[in-house]
């Protein structure tokens, strides 16, 4: 390619191959092979690490729990080949002390290499966030064979809608907290190009945030598809809203059941959804669509960020592995008032959210119920967990309707 990305890509692909064969840390020798910035090239520091160490005494997030002064001192001079530093990775966690009840992650990755260069901090954070998953010793299973899903059709009288989402990052390009404008625009080009190749029930159209007409905007709002500039300080403090709305956009298929967000919190967020309880069809479309998009980008020499330790690489460590959240909007008026509701959800490895998504409240006892886990289990396993769990919740609701008692299920075992 005459394009400047061609040269960068070929060296990045080597990183990809190393990652695929499970090489742990990318060695310094390899990094120096890169033609651009050499790793560890003078991070400008005037003060010793002890003078720079953040004040985390009032903080409650995973980063603050694991960033000791010793780890800080060890990592503060390092930079990824793109020049991303520890201070940048943790800025969001320093700026957002957290909440006594909700433990946020408190850090992000600026690129694929962040997960290796800052592994001394990221690995314990990942372990805490993902229930003891140890990236140094464990492997993550990827399985997008939706035919394995059983009982994936819910009772439509209870389940109003079904949805599966994940994210995908384009290997060779920096992630939203760190990407340059040129990189972000390249992500847009690569993905939009690939999506244009989708056919039949997946065929669709791209709406760039910078060029949207008022009508298109209104339609996207009515369809509940439009995403806006992030306002959450968790996101804005990490730098992912820079240059908004440059190179951001929304793609969806003509039937409005398959949707891709470009350059929001991740390079891409991929969503399959429909009204009603046919989670099987939603998951089928999800897997087919994802595999098709992957095939289309590979035709052009690109690939997704993935390795066998961490699965799919995304901006936030909480989304590693499958990056998958499968959920339903379900009516549970009686069960939701039962004092055992939270415990039942816990044991089913499910979480509840309001119908506006994360950090919203439920409306009229309709809840968003989805999987808690992301890393350490495959896509098929997680969606099956949601299917089995939601079926159980509906059974409970029906029992309560008839005045029968319900049981707390045994805690979930893999």
Shortest CB 124 distance to other proteins, Å: 22
Q: Which of 23, 52, 219, 281 binds other proteins (CB under 8 A)?
A: 52
| 71 touching other proteins, by CB under 8 A | no
Contact 175, 266 (CB under 8 A): yes
Q: Residue 126: helix, strand or coil by DSSP? A: helix
Q: For tokens 């506006």, what's the residue?
A: 356
Write the interaction track for other proteins spanning residues 2-21; mark x where CB under 8 A is met and - where it is not. --x---x-------------
154 class by beta-carbon count within 10 Å (0-12 exposed, 13-18 middle, 19+ buried): buried
> Which residues does 284 contact at the CB level (< 8 Å), separation at least 6?
146, 147
Give how far Cα 8 sits from Cα of 22, 59, 84, Å. Answer: 22, 39, 16
User: How far, in whole angstroms, is CA 120 from its chain's centroid?
Assistant: 21
Comparison of 130 and 184: residue with beta carbon closer to other proteins = 184
Q: Name the strand (E) or helix (H) holding 288.
A: helix 279-299
Which of 148, 160, 150 lies closest to 273 in space, CA to CA?
160
Shortest CB 239 distance to other proteins, Å: 4
| 100 touching other proteins, by CB under 8 A | no
Whole-number Å distance between alpha carbons of 345 and 147: 26
State which of positions 75-94 bind other proteins (CB under 8 A): 79, 81-85, 87-88, 91, 94
| 232 touching other proteins, by CB under 8 A | no
State which of positions 134-193 bind other proteins (CB under 8 A): 178, 180-183, 185-186
Q: Residue 267: helix, strand or coil by DSSP? A: coil
Comparison of 42 and 403: residue with beta carbon closer to other proteins = 42
Q: Which of 65, 142, 219, 236 binds other proteins (CB under 8 A)?
A: 236
Candidate ranges 16-24, 44-52, 113-121, 309-317; the one touching other proteins (CB under 8 A)? 44-52
Which of 8, 81, 33 lies closest to 302 in space, CA to CA?
8
Q: For tokens 């008026």, what's the residue?
A: 333
Q: Which of 2, 21, 29, 46 binds other proteins (CB under 8 A)?
A: 46
Comparison of 95 and 274: residue with beta carbon closer to other proteins = 95
Count of CB atoms within 10 A of residue 331's CB? 17
Q: Which of 193, 243, 284, 294 binds other proteins (CB under 8 A)?
A: 243
Q: Which of 37, 70, 196, 408 binds other proteins (CB under 8 A)?
A: 37
Comparison of 110 and 204: residue with beta carbon closer to other proteins = 110
| 44 touching other proteins, by CB under 8 A | yes
Alpha carbon distance, N-terminus to C-terminus of the chain: 46
How are beta strands 249-253 and 204-208 bridged, if at all?
A: antiparallel
Comparison of 241 and 344: residue with beta carbon closer to other proteins = 241
Q: Which of 210, 217, 232, 255 binds other proteins (CB under 8 A)?
A: 210
Question: What's phi and psi for 228, nearest 5 deg?
Answer: -115, 170
Candidate ranges 15-23, 52-60, 193-201, 397-405; the one touching other proteins (CB under 8 A)? 52-60
Whole-number Å distance between alpha carbons of 95 and 93: 5
> What does the binding site for other proteins look like in residue numbers (CB under 8 A)?
4, 8, 36-37, 41-48, 51-55, 58, 79, 81-85, 87-88, 91, 94-95, 178, 180-183, 185-186, 210, 236-239, 241-244, 246
């Amino acid at each position: 390619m005459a394009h400047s990305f061609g040269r960068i890509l070929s060296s990045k692909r080597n990183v990809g191959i190393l990652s695929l064969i499970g090489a742990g840390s990318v060695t310094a020798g390899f990094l120096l092979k890169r033609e651009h910035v050499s790793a560890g090239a003078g991070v400008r520091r005037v003060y010793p690490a002890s003078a720079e160490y953040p004040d985390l005494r009032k903080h409650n997030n995973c980063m603050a729990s694991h960033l000791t002064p010793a780890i800080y001192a060890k990592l503060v001079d390092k930079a990824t080949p793109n020049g991303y530093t520890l201070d940048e990775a943790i800025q969001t966690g320093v700026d957002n002390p957290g909440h006594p009840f909700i433990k946020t992650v408190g850090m992000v990755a600026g690129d694929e290499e962040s997960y290796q260069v800052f592994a001394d901090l990221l690995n314990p954070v990942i372990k805490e966030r993902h229930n003891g998953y140890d990236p140094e010793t464990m492997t993550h299973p990827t399985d997008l064979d939706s035919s394995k899903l059983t009982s994936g059709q819910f009772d439509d009288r209870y389940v109003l809608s079904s949805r599966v989402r994940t994210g995908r990052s384009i290997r060779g390009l920096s992630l939203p907290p760190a990407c340059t404008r040129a990189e972000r625009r390249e992500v847009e080009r690569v993905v939009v190009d690939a999506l244009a190749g989708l056919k039949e029930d997946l065929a669709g159209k791209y709406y760039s945030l910078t060029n949207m007409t008022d009508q298109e905007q209104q339609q996207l709002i009515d369809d509940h598809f439009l995403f806006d500039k992030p306002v959450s300080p968790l996101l804005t403090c990490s730098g992912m809203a820079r240059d908004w709305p440059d190179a951001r956009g929304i793609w969806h298929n003509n039937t409005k059941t398959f949707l891709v967000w470009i350059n929001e919190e991740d390079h891409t967020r991929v969503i399959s959804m429909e009204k009603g309880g046919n989670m099987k069809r939603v998951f089928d479309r999800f897997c087919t669509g994802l595999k098709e998009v992957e095939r289309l980008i590979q035709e052009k020499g690109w690939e997704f960020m993935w390795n066998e330790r961490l699965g799919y690489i995304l901006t936030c460590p909480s989304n590693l592995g499958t990056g998958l959240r499968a959920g339903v909007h379900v009516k549970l008026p009686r069960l939701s008032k039962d004092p055992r509701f939270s415990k039942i959800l816990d044991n089913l490895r499910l979480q509840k959210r309001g119908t506006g998504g994360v950090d919203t409240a439920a409306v009229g006892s309709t809840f968003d119920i989805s999987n808690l886990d992301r890393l350490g289990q495959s896509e098929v396993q997680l969606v099956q967990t949601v299917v089995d769990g939601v079926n159980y919740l509906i059974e409970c609701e029906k029992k309560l309707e008839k005045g029968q008692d319900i049981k707390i299920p045994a805690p979930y075992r893999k």
